[in-house]
């Protein structure tokens, strides 16, 4: 039985026409061969309709007993954007599993984070996805292992632990079960090396991707010491479970070339997931722009195809940065943040070019005297107040949190208004429909384009852009930045 919500006829036609637009959205299992594929699989013989079975994720296909196709490598495409668009329990669970919660703490930890019982979580995920949380985590490990086996010369023991496996035996058994080959067969003739300080992987995305606009956005918001843009390469520090890390992301025509320097190999998948969120690599421009092009944003969509909605690698970073950005220009906020990082950020033992520090952790901000931050007192007090809430757990901005709950907990804190809460939802929680009509730059460019420029009128006007209002904001901001370098978020 199919586990997707779309009409079966549409999926069958996608397979028969080899429509690559549906890759990642759906996985097709072929009952006559026991193989699962992406819809665009180039196999010369199309499966018969009676032999097609459809799944929401590769994990569900694996859970049903199918093996991955060696020809089309169905796990090598971006994941379904559905899990970022939705904010129900299943979508939140998928986001948390992608961030490694099950690998770090097991299903009980995931259930605790989601405030449900493990039995209920198991039941609802099997009902909707056809796969258990364990099966999703297993598929995540298998996908990660395949990439490292085929693109690096890391010893298999390192690959196993970097992918989240608890033992070499578990690693070998999973690779054979999912891909019907051993790790040695998968790697081929290339010999294993001794490992290197940096791990390189390719991050796929759905084209188009407007790389220059993405790099421009990152440049405008880069906090000195934590991040920098050098040509087509973006670098930044990451605070991960195993310790400090550095990511180096180079935007290519058809992929992002990513390099990671990690304190612990087990942090690799979390680093990849956070960088994918940062660059919005799981987005489907075809769907987003198809919707927005039917509105008054059509000229902006035509001018900037593939524009992304950049996120943030850490929820705490996102909210502190948003508070400092309140009611000031980007340049002013960036200068303040860079100064604060130099004073209170954790220095890296081995800096990488201009990346020298970690962004201060909530525990660090919480211990600071607001008077020492060099910010307006009200804003400085808000920074410390929010940091205390993050450090104590009263505010949760982890990937599996409910966006509405996160907004409510933020708005309950003095000094946090709708603008900050929406910006945090967009950047920290990958909310594709966040919208803040109070943003000054947004109102200015809206007025220039003949749209309402008051918050109430613009909010009402933006209803036509749902469920992609975050992307609408970025198109408006890009239009604004094309004329000035003033205030935006």
**Per-residue pLDDT averaged across 206-217, rounded?**
95
What is the predicted pLDDT for the residue at 489?
Answer: 43
**Per-residue pLDDT averaged across 16-44, rounded?**
91
Token pair 């954007």 is found at 81
Q: Is pLDDT at 196 greater than 80 in this prediction?
A: no
For residue 72, give the H/E element and its range: none
Q: Is pLDDT at 305 greater than 90 in this prediction?
A: yes
Question: 315-481: which CATH topology?
Answer: Endonuclease III; domain 1 (1.10.340)
Q: Is pLDDT at 371 greater than 60 in this prediction?
A: yes
Q: How confident is the model at residue 192 (pLDDT cuts 50, 70, 90)?
A: low
DSSP 3-state of 233: strand
Q: Which two tokens stand for residue 52?
A: 């097609």
What is the predicted pLDDT for the residue at 22?
Answer: 86
Question: 8-77: which CATH topology?
Answer: DNA Methylphosphotriester Repair Domain (3.40.10)
Q: Which of residues 355 and 147 earns the better pLDDT score?
A: 355
What is the predicted pLDDT for the residue at 485?
Answer: 45
Q: 417 — phi, psi (to 5°)? A: -115, -175
How far is 159 from 107, CA to CA, in rounded Å? 23
* Parts of the chain belonging to CATH 3.40.10.10: 8-77
CB 236 within 8 Å of CB 355: yes
The residues, any chain, with a CB within 8 Å of residue 482's CB and separated by 6 or more, are none
Q: How confident is the model at residue 193 (pLDDT cuts 50, 70, 90)?
A: low
Helix crossing, 133-151 with 101-114: angle to 10°?
150
How far is 455 from 435, CA to CA, in rounded Å? 11
Q: 255 — phi, psi (to 5°)? A: -165, 170
* Parts of the chain belonging to CATH 1.10.340.30: 315-481
**Per-residue pLDDT averaged across 362-379, rounded?**
97
What is the predicted pLDDT for the residue at 151?
Answer: 80
- DSSP letter (8 states) at residue 283: -
Catalytic residues: 37, 439
Instruction: Give the chain's mean pLDDT.
Output: 92
**Per-residue pLDDT averaged across 157-180, rounded?**
92
Q: Which of residues 262 and 483 earns the better pLDDT score?
A: 262
What is the predicted pLDDT for the residue at 488?
Answer: 40
Q: 479 — phi, psi (to 5°)? A: -65, -40
The residues, any chain, with a CB within 8 Å of residue 90's CB and separated by 6 or more, are 124, 125, 128, 129
Question: Strand order of the sheet with strand 256-261?
Answer: 198-203, 256-261, 243-251, 233-240, 227-230
Q: How confident is the model at residue 24 (pLDDT cuts 50, 70, 90)?
A: confident
Q: Which of residues 183 and 10 earns the better pLDDT score?
A: 183
**Per-residue pLDDT averaged across 481-485, rounded?**
64
Q: How confident is the model at residue 10 (pLDDT cuts 50, 70, 90)?
A: confident
* Parts of the chain belonging to CATH 1.10.10.60: 83-151+153-167+178-187
CATH number of 83-151+153-167+178-187: 1.10.10.60
116-156 pLDDT, tens digit each: 999 999 999 999 888 999 999 999 999 889 988 988 888 99
83-110 burial string, b = 16+ CB within 10 Å, else e?
A: bbbbbebbbbbbbbbbbbbbbeeebeeb
446-460 pLDDT, tens digit each: 999 999 999 999 999
Q: Is pLDDT at 296 greater than 50 in this prediction?
A: yes
The residues, any chain, with a CB within 8 Å of residue 449's CB and separated by 6 or more, are 296, 476, 479
Q: Which two tokens stand for residue 318?
A: 């996102």
């Amino acid at each position: 039985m199919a586990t997707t919500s779309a009409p079966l006829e549409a999926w069958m036609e996608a397979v028969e026409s080899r429509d690559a637009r549906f890759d990642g959205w759906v996985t097709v299992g072929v009952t006559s061969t026991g193989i699962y594929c992406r819809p665009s699989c180039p196999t010369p013989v199309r499966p018969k309709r009676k032999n097609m079975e459809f799944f929401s994720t590769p994990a569900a296909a694996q859970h049903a007993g199918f093996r991955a196709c060696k020809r089309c490598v169905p796990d090598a495409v971006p994941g379904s954007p559905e899990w970022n668009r939705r904010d129900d329990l299943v979508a939140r669970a998928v986001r948390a599993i992608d961030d490694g919660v099950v690998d770090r703490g097991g299903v009980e930890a995931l259930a605790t984070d989601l405030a449900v019982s493990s039995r209920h979580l198991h039941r609802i995920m099997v009902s909707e996805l056809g796969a258990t949380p364990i099966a999703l985590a297993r598929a995540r490990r298998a996908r990660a292992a395949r990439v490292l086996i085929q693109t690096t010369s890391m010893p298999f023991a390192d690959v196993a632990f970097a992918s989240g496996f608890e033992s070499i035996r578990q690693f070998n058994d999973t690779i054979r079960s999912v891909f019907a080959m051993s790790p040695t067969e998968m790697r081929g003739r290339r010999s294993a090396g001794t490992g290197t300080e940096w791990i390189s992987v390719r991050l796929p995305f759905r084209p188009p991707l407007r790389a220059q606009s993405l790099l421009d956005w990152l440049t405008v918001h880069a906090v000195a010491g934590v991040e920098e843009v050098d040509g087509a390469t973006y670098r930044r520090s990451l605070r991960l479970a195993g310790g400090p890390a550095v990511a180096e992301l180079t935007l290519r025509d058809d992929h992002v070339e990513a390099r990671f320097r990690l304190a612990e190999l087990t942090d690799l998948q979390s680093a990849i997931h956070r960088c994918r969120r940062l660059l919005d690599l799981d987005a489907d421009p075809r769907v987003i722009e198809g919707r927005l092009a039917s509105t008054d944003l059509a000229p902006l969509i035509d001018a900037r195809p593939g524009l992304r909605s950049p996120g943030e690698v850490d929820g705490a970073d996102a909210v502190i940065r948003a508070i400092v950005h309140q009611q000031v220009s980007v340049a002013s906020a960036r200068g303040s943040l860079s100064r604060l990082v130099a004073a209170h950020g954790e220095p890296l033992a081995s800096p990488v070019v201009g990346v020298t520090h970690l962004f201060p952790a909530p525990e660090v901000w919480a211990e600071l005297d607001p008077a020492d931050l060099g910010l307006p007192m009200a804003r400085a007090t808000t920074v410390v107040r929010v940091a205390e809430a993050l450090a104590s757990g009263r505010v949760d901005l982890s990937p599996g949190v409910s966006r509405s709950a996160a907004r409510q907990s933020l708005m309950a804190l003095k000094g946090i208004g709708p603008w900050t809460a929406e910006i945090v939802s967009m950047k920290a929680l990958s909310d594709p429909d966040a919208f803040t009509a109070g943003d000054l730059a947004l109102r200015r460019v809206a007025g220039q384009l003949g749209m309402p420029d008051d918050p109430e009128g613009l909010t009402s006007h933006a209803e036509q852009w749902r469920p992609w209002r975050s992307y609408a904001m970025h198109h408006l901001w890009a239009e604004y930045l094309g004329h000035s370098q003033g205030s935006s978020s």
